[in-house]
Structure 1
């Protein structure tokens, strides 16, 4: 018994349910088309074997979920309760017909004693056995083996603790030059950097409004124009590290936004961010390649190497909610991606007796190198070797810790709390949120301008200075008067203070690099005997 018609399919957390044309074949295949197919042989956009599948009916009378025996799932919504029941009844009949077919493998008297050698199937039974074998093979192909797709483009999402970005390469470009990779920015501000802040803005109805610089700008505008209304919105920033800090990660885990009052499921927050990047990239590429479809793109999502398996599974679930099909997604460890880039890009400096100027060249076979991935949240370190085949061999498993660039921001804010007072800064953040966001941007930028001499000047918001003077006529706490100076609205840090801000994280990175280096030398020593 077959059936076809329109059902709404849950595409993603951002796009919700959308109309699709589904065809249920008599052999138990559920096929999806964007529109009604013109003929029976038209290739489906997606298909799933519903034999032995579980069906979960929702209480609203419209929605139902189908999960195949290999874990593949789809969320559907019918137009009415009757329509949903009709589809489900059709699914059950397909399964019952299959069970009846399986029971009719042999013919004859079931009470008659006979050995297996004596049981010779007749011609009709043999045909049915062959047919069942064919169906079983087809069933395996549909539910177990992953079909290799001919992707026309690969896009990679770097979902960072502080900044996020995306790069992509088409198949045609790759065949001409493997390093011809597009890294256009995700916003329209024309910044030199191709990355944007990992910041998400949702309206009071929990609908995605903006991401990156646009989220920062729109939320700041809300705070200035309608501060009471702004507090109903959801503003998430620098939340990725919660996956590292939470050892017992669950899908039900929630995270709070900048106000500390609004919270959402963490997997939904991550899914919104991933889908925003997905949608931005797809829309831009579609402008150039008009015949590009979603299924033509293979997606790569980078994750820190020091994350545990729960955190990686969490990212897979978030990507799935963002509408990225699991078969079209690859999780890649960030230091592995960096090592692969080092292997292919011409970055190794070599001295030449014929040329006094050092030239750049790729690594030779047997070359060993460390990759120190300094991210916003974590630092990942790996050691690699170039094999004769050209492939990479990991000498030691990845290690590292939460010593990324965000720790510098944290230490600066801790210092500001010490200088002006903890209560003063807390009140400033709560009551002058627009100024707080502006100061947070300045802190992020100022840390990049620090020189080896350690000089640093930070422009302080007037509202913070007023709050500090109201609490302390001297503005600056006594213990910091020899370490910092406040001239008008500029806070000047002494060299010793600046070096101390960076020292802790740098020391830990150096220690870890030395350990890797010692292990590498020790291994070479052992191999020489």
Structure 2
């Protein structure tokens, strides 16, 4: 690996994608100084963009991320989308392929087919170009030879995915000697190594011979990997698990089930189909709220309901009231109230929304710790967007009180920023 003045990382996940970079100078002064690229979605600024890609009817790349979502929605409204290619959440389908090759085919949301290599290379090319534009805002001039690119990959089928991603990157001009591909849990581990924790705690966590489980808990998936630390902090993989669908979306689904029980299935169906933007806003707002809910919370939790949900209810129930629906159900009476557009529920009801997700995660961890070579795992590293949840952290801490639980701050950037740090660490003469 040749020396570079900059390291740029690209993370392409099932739901969202993101980019970040740091310079040789910043890494030598403060390794944690890493710039994450921001995206705009309906005037809201985010550190990630949706993993969606749109090609026109001729198969030419059109757009990626929130821009692709917006343009495709407009095509659907105008009934002009049939001949276009719109791929959403395609990495999951790609990584699940038992025989991933350059000839692998992906189907878009309408069943139209395209080479997976073309889809993936177009994504990498777009993110690369977007990153270079961002560089131009911070530096006078940048050359490809000045950048080491790091792509993250799932630990499952890593060797196969690695070769595929390398081929996709080379198609858009990222040369092999400027490209690193790192397993997601290993990247997150490197990120944790650079976090400010107590000296004794940190030495125990990454001492030679120490074993730890790293859990990447995202909103849709949860992935568990176990490492044993070797000399020079080299990691030996002891166990790798499939991505399981026990993440924060299960909590979202429990919340939507609660709302559906209150307003009725017909109302919720109408709200989702007729006011899709408001429905997405509701989930986003609840997603922020669910991370802040504490397991010892008392009193009531307040969630603002979109006005379009109230419109949908009034359209279907012109003579009814949501308040009356709530009061008619004994399990909600005096526990859930509606004040204008504010839904207020007792804290224990909000906390109960996490039960299914947390119980499945904990049960699986318990099963893994029964493996003979994993019984002496001493620590758990919890990273990812869903790792920010106070309730999830508390449940894991309670269930595994005999193990150290480490949650970096912020946990949601662990894989992306860890990939940048991984790239910097390869420049051994900088350290």
Q: Secondary structure at the match of 2:337?
A: strand
1:136 corresponds to? none
Q: Secondary structure at the match of 2:185?
A: helix
Higher relative contact order (CA 8 A, sep 6+): 2
Structure 1 residue 517 displacement after superposition = 3.9
| 1:185 pairs with one of 29, 37, 61 | 37
Give the aligned CA root-mean-square deviation in angstroms. Answer: 4.2
Structure 1 residue 270 displacement after superposition = 4.7
- Can you list the C-alpha shifts for 1:284-323, whole angstroms capped at 9, x where unaligned? 2244444532243222111232467666666556545555
Q: Does 1:492 align with 2:344?
A: yes
Aligned equivalents of 2:257 and 2:123: distance in 1? 28
Structure 1 residue 196 displacement after superposition = 1.9
Residues 431, 152 of structure 1: alpha-carbon distance in 2 compared, 3 angstrom cutoff: same
2:189 corresponds to? 339
| 1:158 pairs with one of 6, 11, 17 | 11
Q: After superposition, where does 1:347-426 map in structure 2 within 5 Å?
A: 347-348=197-198, 350=200, 363-398=206-241, 401-426=244-269
Aligned equivalents of 1:307 and 1:227: distance in 2? 36
Aligned equivalents of 2:304 and 2:113: distance in 1? 34
2:306 corresponds to? 461
Across the two proteins, how many residue pairs are aligned to each other? Answer: 359
Q: Does 1:300 align with 2:154?
A: no
Q: Secondary structure at the match of 1:447?
A: helix
Residues 460, 272 of structure 1: alpha-carbon distance in 2 compared, 3 angstrom cutoff: farther
1:70 corresponds to? none
Structure 1 residue 156 displacement after superposition = 1.3
CA contact (8 A) 2:250 2:356 kept: no
Aligned equivalents of 1:391 and 1:229: distance in 2? 55
Q: Does 1:504 align with 2:347?
A: no
Aligned equivalents of 1:239 and 1:412: distance in 2? 26
1:170 corresponds to? 23
Aligned equivalents of 1:390 and 1:197: distance in 2? 33
Q: Secondary structure at the match of 2:190?
A: helix
Structure 1 residue 326 displacement after superposition = 4.9
Aligned equivalents of 1:337 and 1:156: distance in 2? 11
CA contact (8 A) 1:163 1:195 kept: no
Aligned equivalents of 1:388 and 1:485: distance in 2? 58
1:22 corresponds to? none
Aligned equivalents of 1:449 and 1:332: distance in 2? 31
| Unpaired runs of at least 5, structure 2 | 378-431
Structure 1 residue 375 displacement after superposition = 2.1
Aligned equivalents of 1:469 and 1:314: distance in 2? 52
More helix by share: 2
Aligned equivalents of 2:48 and 2:20: distance in 1? 13
Q: Secondary structure at the match of 1:350?
A: helix
Q: Secondary structure at the match of 2:31?
A: coil
Residues 456, 313 of structure 1: alpha-carbon distance in 2 compared, 3 angstrom cutoff: farther
Q: TM-score, normalised by structure 2?
A: 0.66
- Can you list the C-alpha shifts for 1:32-56, whole angstroms capped at 9, x where unaligned? xxxxxxxxxxxxxxxxxxxxxxxxx
Aligned equivalents of 1:370 and 1:275: distance in 2? 34
Q: Does 1:282 align with 2:132?
A: yes
CA contact (8 A) 2:9 2:21 kept: yes
1:252 corresponds to? 105
Q: Secondary structure at the match of 1:253?
A: strand
Structure 1 residue 500 displacement after superposition = 3.2
Aligned equivalents of 1:263 and 1:414: distance in 2? 33
CA contact (8 A) 2:105 2:113 kept: no
Structure 1 residue 409 displacement after superposition = 2.7
- Can you list the C-alpha shifts for 1:394-438, whole angstroms capped at 9, x where unaligned? 333345522223333333334434433334333322222332332
Q: After superposition, where does 1:425-436 map in structure 2 within 5 Å?
A: 425-436=268-279
| 1:439 pairs with one of 282, 297, 308 | 282
CA contact (8 A) 1:435 1:463 kept: yes
Q: TM-score, normalised by structure 1?
A: 0.55
| Unpaired runs of at least 5, structure 1 | 1-147, 352-358, 525-529
CA contact (8 A) 2:6 2:23 kept: yes
Aligned equivalents of 2:115 and 2:279: distance in 1? 24
Residues 285, 197 of structure 1: alpha-carbon distance in 2 compared, 3 angstrom cutoff: closer
